[in-house]
Amino acid sequence: MPLIFSCNPTKYVPQDETLLNNNYIEIDREGLNKTDLSPYIKQKPNKKIFGARFHLWLYNLSNIEKTKWPHGWLRRIGEEPVIFDSFSKDQSRQQLEDYIASKGYFDSDVADSVMTQKRKSDVFYNVNLRPPYTIRNIFYEIDDTTIRALFNFDSVSCLIQRGKPYDVDLLQAERTRFERFVKNHGFYGFSTDHISFRIDSTIGNRQVNLFYEVRRAQRIDQYNRITQGPHQVYQIKNVYIYPEYIQRPVLAEGESYAGRLDTTYYQGFYFITEGSKPSVRHDLILKSLYLKPGSNYSLVDVEQTQSHLLTLKTYRLVNIFFNDTDPPEENPGQAMYLNCHIQLTLLSQQSFNVELEGTNTAGNFGGALNLVYQHKNLFRGAEQFNLKLKGAFEAMSQPNTKLRSTQEYGAETSLRLPRFLMPVIKPEEFIKTKNPTTTILAAYNYQDLSFFTRTMANATFGYSWTARDYGTHIVNPFQLNLVNMMKIDTSFQKLINVSSYLSNSCKDVRILGGNYSFIFNNQKIQKSRDYLFLRVNAEAAGNMLSAAGKLAGAEKKNDYYNFLGQPFAQYVRLDADIRYNVIINDISSVVYRAFTGVGIPYGNSRAIPFEKQYFGGGANGIRAWQVRSLGPGSYEVPDTIDFINQTADIKLEANVEYRFKLFWVLEGALFMDAGNIWTFNDDASRLGARFRFNKFIDDIAVGTGTGFRFDFSFVTARVDMGVKLRDPSINEGSKWILASRNFDFGDDITFVLGIGYPF
C-alpha cells in the first residue's frame, strides 16, 4: 500500500521548499511519555494510512492549474502538502521546553535538528531531561478563617503532596477541586481567581517550597472603593421556574410579553407561565430540583438539577442562573441572598414520522417502512409514549441455495415513565441521583420466512436506572413471549426432524421470565479519546411456572408442562459483550471486541428457544461466513441441505478492526474475526457440535477481510469482503485452508452488506 500512494509526494512542493516528512521525539531518560509531548509540536506532517500519504496522493492527482471536476474535487477531498517551516519548528521547541518546565524539569532543554533528503525534511526533537524538582514543604496562606477551616476539613483530598514532583497541571487541578468544594458549601462568589501558587526554587537539592495562597474577597464599598473581606455564604431566597420558556417572544415583545405571564406560588416555589394549565405538572419538576428556598447555594446542586431535568427527555434546554437580592424582611441579617431562575424550554410534545430505513437483522440485508408516533408528555408527567407500525423485507443470502427472503409486519407500543411504579420504593434521593424509569412494552410481529411462518407476541415490564461512572442498570422482572409456528416448509420439517435439538427449537413455545443487563459506556460525543463499551446480560425463564406446576400437581402432556395450552421454555442464558476503541489520530482507530455467551436448557426444555439461540457468521459476526452458516463446532453442513440455519447454545467470538477515513463519505476497514458456536448437549445429527473444554480451541474459525463504509450522517451503510483462513469443518489435515487445500474463490470469499458499524 505505501508503494501505491508514494509516487512523487513532493509534486506540488515549491522548488526552494521541502515537504515535512516526520517529527521524531527522543527522550534521554524516563519521566515523560512521547505521547504527552506530541501535542506541543505545532506542525504535523500529512496524514498517513498504513504509512502512506493517501490524502496527499489524492491532492497530487489533480492538476493544480485547473478548477473544474475532477481537479477541484480531488483537492477538496485530499490534503495539500505540509511545507516544512523553520519558524514553526522553533515555536515547537519552545512549547516543548515550557511543557517540560511545567512538569518540574526546570533546567532541562530541548535540542532540535533537521535532516533533509530528496526534498523531504525530518525534524528531530531531543529532550535532555534532568531529575525533576520535588515539593519539600507546602505553606498555606489562607487569611479567611472560614475558608481555612473548610480546607483543613478536606485536606486529605488535596492533590498536592510533599515529596512529589512539581507539576503545573496538578496545581491547576487542585485549584478546580478546591473551588468546587468551596462553592458546594455556599460560597457563590468564590472562584479559582482567588487561588494562586508561588514557588521558591532556591532552597537547593532540586526541591521547591510551595506557597498555597487563598485571597480574601474583594468588594466595592459605598464610596466606590475596592475593599477586602471574608468570603460569604449565599442562601437561596426564591426560586422562579419558567416551565414553558420561549426566548423569541421574550426578546421580541419585552415587557408586553412579561405582562401576560401569571405567577403561581406552589409548595414554596414560584411558577411563571403564560397559561393557567402547565404542560408539565409542577410536582414532577419539583422532584427533579436540588435547589430549594432557604438552602445554601451549591454548585453540585445546580449541575444535578440541570442533569435530572434533561433526563426527563421533555425539555430541549435547561438554563439556570442566579442574581443577588435583598435579604428577606423576617431575617435581615448579614447573610447574602440569591434568587434562582430556572428556564425550561420544551421539546415538541408530539411527532409523527415516516421512516424508510435499511435493516440488518441477523446479518440479512433489507429495508423497512416505519410509521412512528411519539408523545413526549402523555399525561403531563414526562411520560414517553411510542407507537410504531412496521413493514420489512429482507433478503436471506445463503450458500448453496437460491436467494430467499423474509417479510415482517408488526406493531410495537411502549410507555416510559420517569419513575418506578413501585409504591414501596420512593426515596427522594434515589429518584434524584439514579434517574429511575419504568418501561411497559407490547409488540406483535408476523414473520413469513421461506421455510416457516410464525407470529410472535411480546410483553415486557421493566425498570432502568443510572449508575455512577457511565453505567446503566436494566431489570425486566416480567417478560412474556408467545411464539406460534403457523406453517413449516415440508423440506425444512424433514430436516429438523432428524435432529432432536432442532425439532425442540422450532416449535410453539411460551417464554415467561426476566432478565438483567448492565451497560457501561464512557464514549464521549466528540470521540477525542479511547473509550470502552461493556454489556452484561443475564436471563432466566420458566422457573416460576415450573415451581407453580409442581406445587399445583399439574400433569405433563407429551412429557412437558404446559402454559396457555403450549409447553413453556425453561433455561438460563448469560452473555457479555466488551468493546474497546483506540483512537490513533483524527482519521483512524482500532476497535477490539470480545463476546461470550452460554444458554443452558433444563427442566421443561430440551433446547433453548430458537429466538434465544446464538449463531455465527454474517455482517455482525465472523464475516468470512454467511449468516448462520458457521458451526456448530466442527460440524460440516452437507451439500444436500437446502436450509442452512445453524444455531446453538454457546458462542465465543473475538474481532479486531482497523478503521480509517478515506474521502467524502467513504471510510475503509481491515479486520480479523475468530470464534464459533457450540451446543451444550450432544446432538447426534450434528457430529462435533458439542462444546468440550479440551477441544474447543481446535473448533475456532478464523477469517479476515476488508470493507468500505459510507457515512451519510443519517445512516452508515457498509460492504465487507470476508476471506476464510481457518475452517473448523475441515476433518482431515490442517484446518488452515492454505495448508490443507486449494483456495476456492467461490466458497472461501464472502461479501456481506450491513447497516451501521459491525460493533
All structural domains of the chain with their residue ranges: 19-128, 136-229, 234-346, 451-611, 614-631+648-759
Region 711-731: mean pLDDT is: 88
Please give the pLDDT value at position 403: 45
Tracing cell 458549601 back to the chain, one arrives at: 185
Residue 386 has pLDDT above 80, yes or no: yes
Mean pLDDT over residues 57-84, rounded?
Answer: 91
**How far, CA to CA in Å, does 36 sit from each of 49, 100, 131, 423?**
22, 10, 18, 53
How many angstroms separate the CA atoms of 566 and 511, rounded? 10
pLDDT surpasses 70 at 401? no
Q: What distance in Å separates the CA atoms of residue 322 and residue 187, rounded to the nearest whole number? A: 13
Query: What confidence score (pLDDT) does residue 175 get?
Result: 95
Highest mean pLDDT among 208-212, 506-510, 660-664, 730-734 belongs to: 208-212
In 3D, which of 692, 689, 701, 700 has the Cα closest to residue 632?
689
Residue 23 phi/psi, 5-degree rounding, is -110, 135
**Mean of all residue pLDDT scores within the chain:** 86
Beta-carbon contacts of 91 under 8 Å, excluding residues fewer than 6 positions away, are 42
What is the CATH superfamily name and number for domain 19-128? membrane protein fhac (3.10.20.310)
Question: In this structure, what are the phi and psi dihedrals at residue 578, rounded to the nearest 5 degrees?
Answer: -125, 135
* Interatomic CA distance for residues 632 and 681, integer angstroms: 12
Q: Among residues 375, 373, 372, 371, which one has the least CA distance to residue 348?
A: 375
Q: What are phi and psi of 308, to 5 degrees?
A: -70, -35
Confidence of residue 640 (pLDDT cuts 50, 70, 90): low
Burial group, residue 96, by CB count within 10 angstroms (0-12, 13-18, 19+):
buried
Report which DSSP code applies to 9. Answer: T
- Fold (CATH) for 614-631+648-759: Porin (2.40.160)
Does residue 425 surpass a pLDDT of 70?
no
Give per-residue pLDDT as tens, 76-106.
989 999 999 999 999 999 999 999 999 999 9
**What confidence category does residue 402 fall into, taking pLDDT thresholds of 50, 70 and 90?**
very low
Rounded CA separation 735/402 (Å): 28
Cα 326 to Cα 335, 369, 564, distances in angstroms: 10, 60, 69
Q: Which of 167, 225, 226 is nearest to 197 (CA)?
A: 167
The pLDDT of residue 390 is above 90: no
Q: Judge whether 46 and 60 are in contact, CB under 8 Å.
A: no
- Strands 404-417 and 452-467, by their bridges, are unpaired
Q: How confident is the model at residue 464 (pLDDT cuts 50, 70, 90)?
A: very high
Report yes or no: 198 and 213 within 8 Å, Cβ to Cβ.
yes
- Which parts of 340-456 fold into alpha helices (H)? 428-434
pLDDT classification of 360: cutoffs 50, 70, 90:
very low
**What is residue 366's predicted lDDT score, i.e. its pLDDT?**
58
Please count the other Cβ atoms lying within 10 Å of the Cβ belonging to residue 314.
24
Task: Please tell me the predicted confidence (pLDDT) of residue 219.
Answer: 81
What mean pLDDT comes out for the span 562-583? Answer: 89
Choose the most confident range, by mean pLDDT, from 21-30, 386-395, 528-537, 731-740.
21-30
Closest CA to 485 of 460, 513, 514, 510: 510
Chain segment 221-260, per-residue pLDDT in tens: 777 788 888 999 999 999 999 998 888 777 777 677 777 7
Amino acid identity of residue 669, one-letter, is A
Report whether 699 contacts 633 (CB < 8 A).
yes
Per-residue pLDDT reduced to its tens digit, 692-720 = 998 899 999 999 999 999 988 777 888 99
Residue 484: what pLDDT? 85
Mean pLDDT of the region 144-160: 92
Q: At what angle do helices 168-183 and 299-311 cross, to 10 degrees?
A: 80
pLDDT at 289 over 70: yes
Beta strands in 244-314 (DSSP E): 262-266, 269-273
Q: At residue 599, what is the residue type? A: G
Highest mean pLDDT among 274-283, 300-309, 387-396: 300-309
DSSP letter (8 states) at residue 275? S
Fold match, 136-229 / 614-631+648-759: no
Where residue 180 falls among pLDDT bands split at 50, 70, 90? very high
> What's the grid cell of residue 359?
435493516
Q: How many CB atoms lie within 10 A of CB 404?
A: 16
3-state secondary structure at position 216: coil
Task: Look up the pTM and report it.
Answer: 0.83
Measure the CA–CA gap between 56 and 11, rounded to whole angstroms: 10
CATH code reported for the domain at 234-346: 3.10.20.310
Q: Quick check: 266 and 283 in contact, CB under 8 A?
A: no
pLDDT category of residue 5 using cuts at 50, 70 and 90: very low
User: Which of 167-176, 351-360, 467-476 shows the lowest mean pLDDT across its residues?
Assistant: 351-360
Going by pLDDT thresholds of 50, 70 and 90, the confidence category of residue 269 is very high
**Average pLDDT for 393-406:** 56
Summarised one tens digit per residue, pLDDT across range 98-109 is 999 999 999 899
Mean pLDDT of 390-416: 72
φ and ψ of 219, to 5 deg: -140, 165
CB-based contact 241:344 (threshold 8 Å) = yes
Q: How far is CA 593 from CA 61, 529, 658, 674, in A?
A: 37, 17, 12, 11
Say which CATH architecture domain 136-229 belongs to: Roll (3.10)
Q: Which residues, 6+ apart, have CB-to-CB distance to 177 below 8 Å? A: 157, 158, 159
Give, rounded to a whole angstrom, the gap between the first and last alpha carbons of the chain: 26
